[in-house]
């Protein structure tokens, strides 16, 4: 399980930045060791039949910050761009060379962007 999760994390990282396999293995090992049912962590991958929203993205009527890596192998950058374009108040923050996930290297970019985004929303 640990080998699989580390290999999957490496693939999702996008291949443009160094991948710290030791750190990833340590994190996955801690997740597995503390989990009562590790397979339940994948439950976000499934939706009950018939529960998908039929509303278009353009119906989202709140400011939305879309954060997307330029090297995402699961959903290429164009997906993030399209999402931000379809939401009337959507804004894209593209993370250069980032894959599919949030990396510590991007915290210095992501955190201020989220703080600015949420402060602007609360001010109005």
The predicted model scores a pTM of 0.79
DSSP characters over the chain: -HHHHHHHHHHHT-SSS---HHHHHHHHHHHHHH-SSGGGGGGGG---TT-S--S-GGG--S-EEEEEETT-SSS-HHHHHHHHHHSTTEEEEEETT--SS--GGGHHHHHHHHHHHHHHHHH-
Residue-level pLDDT at 44? 58
pLDDT in tens, the chain (124 residues): 899 999 999 999 999 999 999 999 999 999 888 887 766 666 656 666 656 678 899 999 999 999 999 999 999 999 999 999 999 999 999 999 999 999 989 999 999 999 999 996 555 5
Residue-level pLDDT at 5? 93
């Amino acid at each position: 399980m640990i080998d699989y999760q580390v290999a999957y994390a490496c693939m999702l990282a996008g291949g443009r930045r160094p991948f710290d396999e030791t750190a990833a293995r340590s994190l996955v090992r801690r997740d597995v060791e503390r989990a009562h049912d590790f397979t339940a962590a994948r439950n976000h991958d499934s939706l009950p039949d018939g529960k998908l929203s039929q509303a278009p993205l353009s119906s989202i009527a709140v400011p939305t910050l879309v954060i997307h890596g330029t090297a995402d192998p699961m959903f290429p950058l164009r997906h993030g761009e399209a999402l931000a374009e379809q939401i009337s108040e959507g804004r894209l923050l593209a993370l250069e060379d980032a894959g599919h996930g949030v990396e510590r290297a991007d915290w210095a970019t992501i955190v201020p962007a989220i703080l600015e985004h949420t402060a602007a929303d609360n001010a109005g």
